[in-house]
Amino acid sequence: VQLVESGGGVVQPGRSLILSCAASGFTFRSYNMHWVRQAPGKGLEWVAVISYNGGFKYYADSMKGRFTISRDNSENTLYLQMNSLRAEDTALYYCARELSAFDIWGLGTMVTVSS
Amino acid sequence: QAGLTQPPSVSKDLRQTATLTCTGNSNNVGNQGTAWLQHHQGHPPKLLSDRNNKRPSGISERFSASTSGNTASLTITGLQAEDEADYYCSAWDSSLNIWVFGGGTKLTVL
């Protein structure tokens, strides 16, 4: 059972970035999936969730309208489209599986928003 | 969005018992169950207890979770050096339709 994030990097304020999370070892299409982030020196912050079939999506207030969570169950991949990035979006972004909580986590991918 | 409230730090001696608390409201902790995660920096968080206060496979019986009203607790018995970490609580908020995290408690084992 594994989650592997990718797509992080350094990006200028106002630009966009797409993160991916490749799942393996379990039936991806059966689980709700999340993005959670941790800014340097800060605690964990929930970003967004998507249901197992993409039927519902919810976002933290500070990401609403800027971030879009999506998934491709045929490719066992979770995505996070991040637009209008701000310095305060600088963080390690994790994807996590939901089984009555966040039971499986990836290692994370670092996003740095800086000019 | 208000999060859950956790004390920033707790210090306990080796082999003692630590009880970490997490306070929310009736829309999250009080009615939706609270998960607990352990986070060692440089590693991904690890789930210690799910929303039903059940330990995932492989988690030591030294970790136990409970809830009373709008406050959830994680009790760690027989503290070991490797228990020194950050601990986070998290719950689904049924009013806001979001997951909320506590600010985290840094546990120091003396």
Summarize pLDDT for A1-53 with one digit per residue, the tens: 999 999 999 999 999 999 999 999 999 999 999 999 999 999 999 999 999 99
Q: Which of B1, B47, B54 sits opposite A102 (nearest CB)?
A: B47
Residue B35 buriedness (CB in 10 A; 0-12 / 13-18 / 19+): buried
**pLDDT for B45-95, tens place per residue?**
999 999 999 999 999 999 999 999 999 999 999 999 999 999 999 999 999
Burial class of A3 by CB neighbour count within 10 A (0 to 12, 13 to 18, 19+)? buried
**Neighbouring residues of B82: CB distance < 8 A, sequence distance ≥ 6:** none
Q: What is the C-alpha to C-alpha distance for residues A19 and A35, in angstroms, rounded to an integer?
A: 10
The answer to whether A107 faces chain B, any CB pair under 8 Å, is: yes
Put simply, the answer to whether B52 touches A100 (Cβ < 8 Å) is yes
Give the closest of B33, B44, B54 to A106, CB-based.
Answer: B44
- The pLDDT-based confidence of B3 (bands split at 50, 70, 90) is confident
In 3D space, the residue among B5, B18, B32, B2 whose CA is nearest the CA of residue B74 turns out to be B18
CA torsion A56-B97-A102-A30 (nearest 10°) is -20
